[in-house]
Amino acid sequence: MQQAPRTMVVSLQKTGTHLMQGLMLELGYKMTGVPRPAPDNTPEFDDEALLQIASITRSREEYAELQTVSSAELRRRTQDDWAALGWSWQRRLGQRVVNRYGQTRLDHADSVITNPHINYSRFADTPPGLCWMYHELDLDKVDGTFLQEWVSTGSPRLIFNYRDPRDTVVSMINFLEGKTAAGYGNFYEFDIFHRVLTSMDTWEEKIDYALRDTSFLGRDQFERSLWMLRHPDVCKVSYEDLVGPNGGGTRERQLDAVSRLLTHIGSDLDPEKVADTVYNQNSWSFFKGRTGTWREYFNERNLARFNEQFGDLLQQFGYE
């Protein structure tokens, strides 16, 4: 059995992205997309891979010249090409780059890229051994040629991770207030909500605000992901599945989820051994990591508002 060379994980915000990252690293993938770069998750490329990347990012003339230079010169001249290709794909995949990182990321990518036909490149042309991880994949924002490639080839293998929407509200508030190990992250929009939430005194007020503000982080992510929940070619795993007994779940559900994921990507690793590595409390974004914590924070008024606005989602995602 040959493991898929490329995978894509869509993990809704505060639904256990750190669990998915740890799992995919255990399967041998390096990360790109929303995970923070770290020594254990950042891809490294040899000269052959650098030239493959340059064949996508550089003009025909520049690529031909790069094929003639020394290894050291190749690395010097292509040091920004992988990042440029990554940002180019973030744009094609409809990611909120400008909102989260600033226009300068795309401007820099455009200054590196000299291939006028880069948007005709296939996802299959990207380096193998990577897991592309994002918080959303909105059908109305994604480059249609990517969707066509995925439908016709089944690659990249797509995995969708979600969680009880009520728990995500609580987890998001804790995260944006900076209660996790390394603060609330580096997306620019986080600063706005951090200031709003920390000005409020009660959990009732914070939850009410999170449910009312249509721009609040992740507020519409479940509705916009229903296509992945229902698509038969997407592997669906929930936080409650993956977290196992250490996080309030069960070993049986954890093993079932890991086994389904391994089958989906064509891995022959032992599900038992892989499952043992999933629950990681050392993640920078980890806070409590328990299931059902919303019951400690939602009062009757909060719950009534949630059910009024999002009650149908609980049924759609299997939480009622």
Highest mean pLDDT among 51-55, 218-222, 279-283: 51-55
Q: In this predicted model, what pLDDT tens digit does every residue of 100-134 receive, in sequence order?
A: 899 999 999 999 999 999 999 999 999 999 999 99
pLDDT at 286 (0 to 100): 45
Cα–Cα distance for residue pair 140/136, rounded to 1 Å: 11
Q: What angle do CA 75, 78, 83 make, to 5 degrees?
A: 120
Q: Flag the least confident range among 28-42, 90-104, 171-185.
A: 171-185
pLDDT for residue 320: 81
- How confident is residue 257, by pLDDT bands cut at 50, 70 and 90? very high
Is residue 185's pLDDT more than 80? no
Residue 266 has pLDDT above 80, yes or no: yes
Taking the C-alpha atoms of residue 151 and residue 129, their distance in angstroms, rounded to an integer, is 21
Q: Is the model's pLDDT at 292 over the cut of 50?
A: yes
Q: Where are the beta strands (DSSP E) in the chain?
A: 6-11, 30-33, 130-134, 157-162, 235-238
Mean pLDDT computed over 4-19: 95
Scanning the structure block, which residue is given the tokens 């009757």? 300
Distance, CA of 14 to chain centre? 10
Tokens 């820099």 -> residue? 108
pLDDT of residue 246: 81
Residue listed under structure tokens 């022959």: 268
Burial of 84 (0-12, 13-18, 19+ CB in 10 A): buried
pLDDT at 285: 45
Total-model pTM: 0.93
* pLDDT, mean over the chain: 92
pLDDT for res 217: 87
Helix (H, G, I), strand (E, B) or coil at 20: helix
Name the pLDDT band for 183 (thresholds 50, 70, 90). low
Q: Listing from the earlier edge strand, what are the strands of the sheet with 235-238? A: 30-33, 130-134, 6-11, 157-162, 235-238
Dihedral pair phi/psi, residue 237, rounded to 5°: -135, 140
Domains of the chain: 6-43+129-316 (3.40.50.300), 44-126 (no CATH)
Query: pLDDT by residue (tens digit) across 68-80?
Result: 999 999 999 999 9
Asked whether residue 178 carries a pLDDT value surpassing 90, the answer given is no
